[in-house]
Chain A
Amino acid sequence: MSALHPAFVLFVTACVATAARGILRQITLLAGTLATLWTVWELDATASLSWALPNYTLHVLRVDALSHVFGLIFSLIACIGVLYALHVRRGGEHAATLVYAGGGLGVVFAGDWITLFVFWELMAVASLFVVWFGGTAQSQAAGYRYLLVHIFGGSLLFCGILIHLLHGGEITLAALTRSETPDAAFWLILLGVVINAAVPPLHAWLTDAYPEAAVTGSVFLSAFTTKTAVYVLIRLFPGAEVLLWAGVIMTLYGVVYAILENDIRRLLAYHIVSQVGYMVAAVGMGTALALNGSGAHAFCHILYKALLFMGAGAVIQATGKRKLSDLGGLSRAMPVVFGLYMVAALSISGVPLFNGFTSKSMIVSAAAEAHLPLPELLLTLAGVGTFLSVGLKLPYFTFMGDDRGLSPQRLPLNMLLAMGAGAFLCVWLGLFPQALYERLPFAAEYHPFTVDHVVSSLQLLTGTGLAFWWLLDRFHRETTLTLDTDWFYRRPLQAVFAHLIALARQAGTVLEAARASVLQALLPYARNPYLVPDRLTGVPLHLPPIDDDALPDGDRLVYDENRYRLPIGATVMWIVVFLAGLALVVFVAA
């Protein structure tokens, strides 16, 4: 059954919203994203959209349980993100975010490699503009670095896809881990995807660029790129063992950096790395429960992480401050934002009755079920770090702590409404996880609210809280910069580039000088072709004057170029006409 592609609805919305103004644009944005959500909701396994090319048939729309659950959350967060950004007057920013979201939907519903790659790159380009709409010198510089990394990642992915197809691989997407031995295509595709999943040391583009976007843009950024990568990992690399350890390291890497971080959105960005680590590790486990956990955690993570970025964005918008060292004591002035932020903070920390608990505990249980003791302990430890930074440190130093005498501005109502919607969904899914569980793609049963899970979670979080209280004095605000792997392309690689550019400029100057001297030498002959035989033979050429105007200059004939201009020009024209006619005949005959 041919169906409407939800990404198409978003693209149309983007076009109309950019052209419209004022209230009309706002209505378009809300109606368009709601229509997208409805379109995704209505999709079922029979829906498809194909496009026959000479050698391949592209499956632009392929729906199964896995793509449907990701499609649902992507379209849902597009609605919430658009509501949060409804007051923004820059049409370009709305267009960029919607095309970005559409790219994400395109990837999850792609049935073949070519479609996947096209939408993958579309996301990269659109998200670059989302970063650039931050509108600062920092966002511009971070955007260029973001572009550099994503061009590199996209190239790896494309090379991998080409090798896969050249080796006789299917055009339709299927798990690559089923083949006996991983080949070059496997590793290139994996590398291209894990760059987007922000697996250290290939993660620094995320923590570099996301905090520099506009507060409205980073809500979208937090949702799509890493989670499409998780989707692709679940689809293509289930059970790839290397991902288990990569994921476990990610969870702790993000946690450690977040402890040292001062910028509130960069702190949250490090916790994207950490949370995506759970999903990546679960893909590496590869059991049905783990893969379900990965999908469920992506779903819940998008909701609470968007809410966290909305809360941080609300603080930044209201106060103009983005660093913990500049913030403090905002709970009186911004109680609603504080409350809604805490819903997200409790969710990400895995407090029972909030949505993070229902999905994170699934992954940790999957690790236990698969008899992986060390990953189970380390993933639990990362949960401690999450509560520490996002649930305690950030809210304490932003909303409580020393009152900095900040007088925050009033926030637009739409921002609070969007946060309210996000918080409602976090709590609702925390109370009724079955609504999500029954949509998960793999056959595995899981009960989150067992005494074991609840007790373990409560004890862990209480222990963390007590230790935080005890260490509070050590949490003096960090005003330093933290060295991360982006140093490699911001310092040595940049020096290499600068050196290469200087080298190319030098070569250009030398070549230009050589060209000028050659031209200088040839110029007399171009002015008077009669000089050529003259110089070659050493004998002055004697020709009879062609007409009376051409007076002999001493012994030599004066060359008058105007005499030859017309016949040469005419010849060239006829050649062009002939070639154009020939091209037309060949084209028509073909």
Chain B
Amino acid sequence: MKRTGAVVAAVVIGASVVLEIVYRHHGHPVFWWQATPVFDFVYGIAGCLALVLGAKWLGRAWLQRDHLYTDEDEAA
């Protein structure tokens, strides 16, 4: 399962980078990151890490509780 995922990811990234380089002059980038190859791949990894770690930290520090409301709601 993990190996299949890794192969699919590698193929997608490889193909997309080739496409990005071949079709570089066809797009209409507005911002610099739209013209930077593999930016979205890096942004996906970094964004996912930031969201998960940020949300977990926020949860531990503040948002997540064992008890919040009445017994009836805690049974939910």
Interface string of A358-399 (1 = CB under 8 A from B): 000000000011010100110011001100100000000000
Q: A381-B47, A483-B64 are in contact. Are A469 and B72 (CB under 8 A)?
A: no
Q: Is the CB of B72 within 8 A of A460?
A: no
Q: A138-B75, A373-B31 are in contact. Are A458 and B52 (CB under 8 A)?
A: no
Q: In the complex, what's the smallest C-beta–C-beta distance from B72 to chain A, in angstroms?
A: 6
Bound together, the chains give a CA A261 to CA B44 distance in angstroms of 21
A–B pairs, 12, beta carbons within 8 Å? A255-B55, A256-B54, A259-B51, A371-B30, A452-B28, A454-B19, A455-B20, A464-B45, A480-B64, A480-B66, A482-B65, A483-B63
Bound together, the chains give a CA A377 to CA B38 distance in angstroms of 15
Q: Is the CB of A465 within 8 A of B5?
A: yes
Q: A137-B72, A138-B72, A455-B16 are in contact. Are A463 and B23 (CB under 8 A)?
A: no
Q: A369-B30, A380-B43, A463-B40 are in contact. Are A481 and B12 (CB under 8 A)?
A: no
Q: A212, A384, A465, A487: which contacts B9 (Cβ < 8 A)?
A: A465
Q: Is the CB of A481 within 8 A of B51?
A: no
Q: A459-B13, A462-B12 are in contact. Are A483 and B55 (CB under 8 A)?
A: no
Interface string of B21-55 (1 = CB under 8 A from A): 00100111111011000111111111111111011
Instruction: Determine the main DSSP class of A at the interface with B.
Output: helix
How many A residues face the partner with a CB closer than 8 A? 52
Q: Is the CB of B59 within 8 A of A478?
A: yes
Bound together, the chains give a CA A458 to CA B43 distance in angstroms of 12
Closest to B26 in A: A451
Q: In the complex, what's the smallest C-beta–C-beta distance from A361 to chain B, in angstroms?
A: 12
Instruction: Determine the main DSSP class of B at the interface with A.
Output: helix
- Additional pairs, 11, CB under 8 Å, beyond known A259-B56, A263-B76, A459-B40: A138-B73, A255-B51, A368-B31, A456-B34, A459-B16, A466-B44, A467-B44, A467-B52, A478-B59, A481-B67, A487-B68
Binding site for A on B (CB under 8 A): 2, 5, 9, 12-13, 16, 19-20, 23, 26-31, 33-34, 38-52, 54-56, 58-59, 62-69, 72-76
Q: Is the CB of B63 within 8 A of A451?
A: no
Q: Is the CB of B64 within 8 A of A478?
A: yes
Binding site for B on A (CB under 8 A): 137-138, 141, 212, 255-257, 259-260, 263, 368-369, 371, 373, 376-377, 380-381, 384-385, 388, 450-452, 454-469, 471, 474-475, 478, 480-484, 487, 490-491
Instruction: Please indicate the chain A residues that have their CB under 8 angstroms from the CB of B51 in the complex.
Output: 255-256, 259, 381, 384-385, 388
Which 5 pairs between the two chains have the least Cβ-Cβ distance? A463-B44, A467-B48, A459-B40, A259-B55, A459-B41
Bound together, the chains give a CA A456 to CA B43 distance in angstroms of 10
Instruction: Please indicate the chain B residues that have their CB under 8 angstroms from the CB of A454 in the complex.
Output: 19
Q: Is the CB of A482 within 8 A of B64?
A: yes
Q: Is the CB of A458 within 8 A of B59?
A: no
Residue among A259, A373, A475 with max Cβ neighbours from chain B (10 Å): A259
Instruction: Please indicate the chain A residues that have their CB under 8 angstroms from the CB of B76 in the complex.
Output: 138, 212, 263
